[in-house]
Structure 1
Amino acid sequence: MPGIAPKNIAVSALLTGAAAIFYANPAGTQDLPAHAAPSAPAPAEAALQGLRLAGQGTLRFLGIEVYRARLWVSAGFDAADYAARPLALELTYHRSFTADAIAQRSLEEMRRVGAFTPEQAQRWLRALQAVLPDVRSGDRLVGVYLPGQGAVFRSGGRVLGRVDDAEFARLFFGIWLSPQTSEPGLRQALVGDTARVAGRP
């Protein structure tokens, strides 16, 4: 794209790019290990019990790999009603971004999922800026969705923070999981064979 610096291309590439929240998981394992979250708040830790890897995919922009995403879900997960049950989303970044760039882009993508007021936008922007770090290539962030409660954000085995707002959490994870996502191909890769994961015939 002529005339646009690579950094700006990378920021634009955050098409579904809010930094998510996750625990490090050894490559190739299917279960999210309970010991990966020793300092997690009790509700978040309990919500992670029994989660299974549903799918994974890589976000690319103009051929540039932006991040790799992986989704863990609980039994009974239904992609059409993604916000009904606890889940966890992991992003492993291949590019560097500032926390502010991630937060700003997150709000833009959340507007695709559902409407919210200017007051909510300002409150959620401040919340994201407070919990999200700057990221570099290789950084892994994890987000835990707690239905009816909010979201917990983690990186490197530590809690970055939490946002106790159920509507924020629903829209935030909808960046990747809602049918209104700007990246339907990535969504399909993440939800994977959810009938198998959910234990349905």
Structure 2
Amino acid sequence: MDTMRKLLMVLLLALGLTSLQAAPVFTQLLPGAQQVGQGVFKRFGWSIYEARLYASGGRFDASKPYALSLTYERTIAGDRLVQASLDEMRKLGAPVDERPEWAAALSQVLPSVSKGVTLTGVYRPGEGAVFYEQDKETGRIDDALARMFFAIWLDPRTSEPSLRQSLLGMNQ
């Protein structure tokens, strides 16, 4: 067994790999998940996060499950993430002011982040979404809120159309 382990390490080093990475936990909820696209969200020239969209077979269809991962480049308080999300949803016409429970629900799934932290939401149409910080579940939200939350990035009326195009693989 020791010889096999050494052989594997030599092979990994030869391939430029130092460790084997396990598949993200969300792939259990999204069989056959492959990256559709990716892009960087910037504000005033500063990178805020890198976004990646995943779907089964690498093909996005809003009526089928998908995952959106955001890997942050800076520290942001959870309450700021929640407020920014609500503001963007409001711009898209979501009934944020009539649904005060949405702020509390988002507060449960959107923790404070720092550089290198990845938040992932897995949306399952008709069911809602489950969220992860790294690979640890932070919580779940219902379908109505989930649809509006993911619209921030995927709705054609998004405030960041070039990021949307990158996520959907239209810029590649």
Report TM bin, short chain: 0.7 to 0.9
Q: 1:112 aligns with which of 91, 96, 116?
A: 91
Which one of the candidate residues 104, 109, 124 is aligned to 1:131?
109
For these two proteins, the number of residue pairs brought into alignment is: 150
Tell me whether 1:88 sits opposite 2:67 in the alignment: yes
- Letter aligned with residue 35 of structure 2: L
Deviations 1:74-111 (A, max 9, x none): 35634xxx2x1100011010111110010011011112
* Aligned residues: CA RMSD: 2.1
CA distance in 2, matches of 1:117, 1:67: 24
Looking at structure 2, the residues matched to 98 and 74 of structure 1 have their Cα atoms a distance apart, in angstroms, of 32
Please report how far the alpha carbon of residue 117 of structure 1 lies from its aligned counterpart in structure 2 after TM superposition: 5.2
Structure 1 unaligned spans of 5+: 1-32, 195-201
2:9 maps to none
1:59 alignment counterpart: 41
Q: What residue identity is the alignment partner of 1:173? A: F
Q: Give the counterpart of 1:176 among 131, 153, 158.
A: 153
Q: How far is the alpha carbon of 1:133 from its aligned partner?
A: 1.1
Label 1:62 to 1:144 Cα distance change in 2 as closer, same or farther (>3 A).
Answer: same
Q: Is the 8 A contact 1:34 1:45 kept in 2?
A: no
Q: Which runs of 5+ in 2 are unaligned?
A: 1-20
1:22-42 Cα distance to aligned partner (Å, 9 max, x none) = xxxxxxxxxxx98532xx6xx
* Contact 1:72-1:89 at 8 Å conserved across structures: yes
Deviations 1:57-76 (A, max 9, x none): 00111211110000001356
Q: Residue 153 of structure 1: which of 127, 131, 155 is its match?
A: 131
Instruction: Pick closer, same or farther for the CA change 1:156–1:116 going to 2, 3 Å.
Output: same
Q: TM-score, normalised by structure 2?
A: 0.80
Larger Rg: 2
Between the aligned partners of 2:83 and 2:113, the Cα distance in structure 1 is 15
Instruction: Letter of the 2:67 partner, please give it.
Output: A
- TM-score, length basis structure 1: 0.69
3-state SS of the aligned residue for 2:50? strand
Percent of residue pairs bearing the same amino acid type: 46
Structure number having the greater strand percentage: 2
Could you say if the C-alpha distance between residues 186 and 49 of structure 1 is closer, same or farther in structure 2, counting changes exceeding 3 Å? same
**Deviant stretches of 4+, over 3 Å:** none
